[in-house]
Structure 1
C-alpha cells in the first residue's frame, strides 16, 4: 500500500473486509444452517456486498489504482451470483402452441389486517389473475376461510381440505388427478402439491411457504430491533427451513413425474436452502428468461428475490415476468414453459 494516503489506506481496508465477506459468501450455499447457522445469516447481505464491491472497483478504477483488482477478481469469481441478482437482458417471450404458464403469488391473506390502505385488494388481485390468465396458479398465504372462485380452474385447498393446513392453494386449468400436503411440524407453514394432466403428460406442481423470520419490512421499525435479537431470529429460521426442505426433498424423491416447484422460500438465491431445492435437476426460470433485479419482496432499498419458480430441465423456459403490482408485500411472478 505504498504511495497511498491515510484516507486511501482506510478505504482499502474497508474494501478488503467487504471483498473478504463476499468471498466467504460463495461457500454459504454448501454449509447447512444446522451446522453453522451464524454464518448462514451472511447470505441475506450478498446483494449489498456485490454492490459495495462494484462501488469500490469503480472508486479505484477512476483513480487508476491497482487496488481495483481486489474487488474485480472477487466479483469475477462470483459472476454467477451477479447473474442471479441482476439479469442484464431478458429473453424475448417465445410464442408456441405448446406453451403453458405458471404463476406464483404470496397474496398476504388478501390484506385481511389492512396492511395496505385500500379496501379493494382482494377484488384487485382477482382482476389481475383474470387478466393474466395463468394455466397454473400457486398462491401462498391464502385464506381458505375467505376463498376465491376462478371459473375454468380445478383447484386444491382453495377451500379448507380436511387434514391440510390453510395457507397454500393451487388452481389449474389442467385436470388434477392427485393432490396432497406436507405438513411441516410446529408451524403454520406447509407445502402442497398436485399432479396435473396436460395432454398425455402428468406434471407435478409443488408450492410451499417456508418458515418466515418475521423481520419487519419497515426500515424505521427494523431500526428498533436489537442486532442480537435479529441475528438469533434469523439463525433459528434458517435451521427450521432446512428441516422443512429435507421433508420436501424426501417427498419429491418418491415421484417420477416431471416437476415444477413454486413458492415463497423466505430465503435468497445465495442460500443453502435455495441450492438444495434447486439441485442439479431444476432451472431457475428467472435466471433463464427474467430481467432486471427480479425483486419479489417489498423490502425498502434492498432488491430481495425470495419467491421462485423452478422447473425440471425437461421444460424449456419461453418467458418470465415479475409484476410491479403493490397488492401484497410480495410481487407476483409468472413463467412460460414448454415440455420437451
Structure 2
C-alpha cells in the first residue's frame, strides 16, 4: 500500500507538471506570431482555465502537506506572475485624484443599440451624457436619418458639453458603414485613420490639446472574431451539454474562426504599435475594442511601450463583453509611462450594448 501511495502521488505530480507546462505555454503564447501560427497563438484564451487547475493542484499539495510537490504549481505561478497580474489585477480606488486629472471613457456602443429610442430616449446616449467623462471614444458608432430613431442632431444636443467631435467611417470593405467617434471637451487639433487592412474595422489617431500639452489618442476597433449567432449558440451549447462529439466538432469550428481573426489582427496591432512609436507627442493614450484578451499577441504588441490602465488601477477580471458567456476583457485603455491612471473601471451598470464601457481618470506622472 505504501508503494501504491507513492505511485499515485507520482501520477498526480506528473499531471501537475503537464498542466503547469500548459499554463506557461498559454501565458507566453502572445509571443507567437498569429500570421505564422494562428491556432497556437489562440492558446492564451485557455490561460484562466490552466491557472485555476494549477491553483487546484497547489491547494491539494498543501492540504496533504506535500510541500516539495507544491513547489511545482507555485513555480508555475511565479513564472507567469506578470500575466496573472495583467489578467486579474487587485487595486483599490482612490478619492484623492491629482489636480489636472481628466476622465477618458471607451465604449463599443453597438450603434446606440440599433439607434432605438425608448420613450423618446436612448439609454446609451443618456449614459454618455451623464458619464462626466472629458473624452469619449466610441466604436461601432451609428445614427439614423429617420426621426423615430436616434439622429445625429439628437446626439449633438445630448452631448452639447462636448464642443469638439470627429466621426470617421473605417474599413476598406465595399459599403462599410462602421464608424468611430471621439467627443471631447478639449480641442481636437487633427484626426486621421490608420492605413491597415480590414473590411469593417479600423483605428483613428487624434491630436488633442489639453492645457499646454498635446496628447496623441488612438481609438481602435480591431478585427472581430467573425463568430455568427449560430457559432455563439454552438459555444453555449457546448458549455451546457458537453458531449464528446459536440465539443469536438464545435471546438474545431470555433478555433478555426478565432485563428483566422487572430491572424488578421496581428498586422493591425503592428500598425498601431508603429503609430505609437512615431507619435510626435510624449503623452499617448490608446483605447478601444481590441477583440482579444489581455493574454494575446494584439494586446502584448500594442501595450509593449504602454501601461494597461486596468492592470494599473483596476480590480478583478474586468470582463467587458457581456453576451454568449464569452467572459473576457477585450476593451482597453492604455497610457504612456509618463501618464498614470486611477480607478479604472469596467462599468457593468449598462447592458444595452454587447460591451460594457471602460473608463478611468488619467493625469501626468509627477
Q: TM-score, normalised to structure 1's length?
A: 0.88
> Out of 151, 156, 160, which is 2:160 matched to?
151
Structure 1 20/135 Cα, relative in aligned 2: closer, same or farther at 3 Å? same
| SS state at 1:112 partner | helix
Aligned residue in 2 for 1:40: 41
Aligned residue in 2 for 1:290: 314
Q: Which region of structure 1 is more displaced relative to structure 2, 5-14 or 285-294?
A: 5-14
Deviation at 1:157, TM superposition (A): 0.3
Q: Can you list the C-alpha shifts for 1:282-321, whole angstroms capped at 9, x where unaligned?
A: 1111111111222212256664111110011121223312
Q: Which region of structure 1 is more displaced relative to structure 2, 137-146 or 258-267?
A: 137-146
Q: Quick check: 1:100 aligned with 2:96? A: no
Aligned residue in 2 for 1:336: 361
> Out of 343, 349, 358, which is 1:319 matched to?
343
Larger of the two Rg values belongs to structure? 2
Partner Cα distance (1:300, 1:72) in 2: 33
Partner Cα distance (1:144, 1:313) in 2: 36
Q: Structure 1: any 5+ residue segments left out of the alignment?
A: none
| SS state at 1:197 partner | strand
Structure 1 121/38 Cα, relative in aligned 2: closer, same or farther at 3 Å? farther
Q: Quick check: 1:220 aligned with 2:221? A: no
Q: Quick check: 1:251 aligned with 2:275? A: yes
Higher helix share: 2
> Out of 77, 94, 97, which is 1:75 matched to?
77
Q: Quick check: 1:20 aligned with 2:44? A: no
Structure 1 241/168 Cα, relative in aligned 2: closer, same or farther at 3 Å? same
Structure 1 93/269 Cα, relative in aligned 2: closer, same or farther at 3 Å? farther
Q: Can you list the C-alpha shifts for 1:169-192, whole angstroms capped at 9, x where unaligned?
A: 111100111011125434100111
Structure 1 157/261 Cα, relative in aligned 2: closer, same or farther at 3 Å? same
Q: Can you list the C-alpha shifts for 1:99-145, whole angstroms capped at 9, x where unaligned?
A: 1010011112222299xxx9579711122222221000111111144
Q: Structure 2: any 5+ residue segments left out of the alignment?
A: 145-150, 240-245
Contact map agreement 2:139 2:220 (CA 8 A) in 1: yes
Structure 1 108/2 Cα, relative in aligned 2: closer, same or farther at 3 Å? farther
> Out of 168, 181, 202, which is 2:214 matched to?
202
| SS state at 1:177 partner | strand
Q: TM-score, normalised to structure 2's length?
A: 0.82
Structure 1 85/134 Cα, relative in aligned 2: closer, same or farther at 3 Å? same
Aligned residue in 2 for 1:190: 202
Deviation at 1:95, TM superposition (A): 2.3
Structure 1 217/288 Cα, relative in aligned 2: closer, same or farther at 3 Å? farther
Partner Cα distance (2:53, 2:46) in 1: 11
Partner Cα distance (2:39, 2:79) in 1: 23
Aligned residue in 2 for 1:134: 133
Deviation at 1:62, TM superposition (A): 1.2
Contact map agreement 2:135 2:185 (CA 8 A) in 1: yes
Aligned residue in 1 for 2:122: 123
| SS state at 2:272 partner | helix
Structure 1 95/46 Cα, relative in aligned 2: closer, same or farther at 3 Å? same
> Out of 248, 262, 267, which is 2:287 matched to?
262
Contact map agreement 2:338 2:364 (CA 8 A) in 1: yes
| SS state at 2:310 partner | helix
Structure 1 122/46 Cα, relative in aligned 2: closer, same or farther at 3 Å? farther
